[in-house]
């Protein structure tokens, strides 16, 4: 399985932040950003948009509220329309 396929497999369960994704794949953050750009351009993933409240955030179960403090970015599989 290639790196892009592994990335999609990791994202199938829940959104993940870029640092977690890079660690899981064993790649640099820069390499991961390139992979995400490719998958985003192909329509497979999308960046999780910031919400006004942590209660509506899809990462609330795995996040300690770090997004607001660190500006962390997260991605998820794009929903098929």
The pLDDT of residue 51: 45
**Sheet holding 45-47: strands in order across?**
16-17, 74-77, 45-47
In this structure, what CATH number is given to the domain that contains residue 32? 1.10.10.10
Domain count within the chain: 1
Please give the mean pLDDT across all residues of the chain.
81
Domain encompassing residue 63 = 3-77
Q: Is 29 helix (H, G, I), strand (E, B) or coil?
A: helix
pLDDT tens per residue, range 23-43? 999 999 999 999 999 999 999
The pLDDT of residue 31: 96
The pLDDT of residue 58: 72
């Amino acid at each position: 399985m290639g790196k892009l396929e592994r990335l999609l497999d990791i994202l199938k369960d829940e959104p993940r932040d870029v640092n977690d994704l890079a660690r899981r794949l064993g790649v640099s953050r820069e390499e991961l950003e390139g992979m995400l750009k490719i998958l985003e351009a192909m329509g497979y993933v999308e960046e999780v948009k910031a919400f006004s409240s942590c209660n509506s955030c899809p990462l609330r179960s795995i996040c300690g509220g770090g997004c607001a403090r660190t500006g962390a970015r997260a991605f998820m599989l794009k929903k098929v329309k």
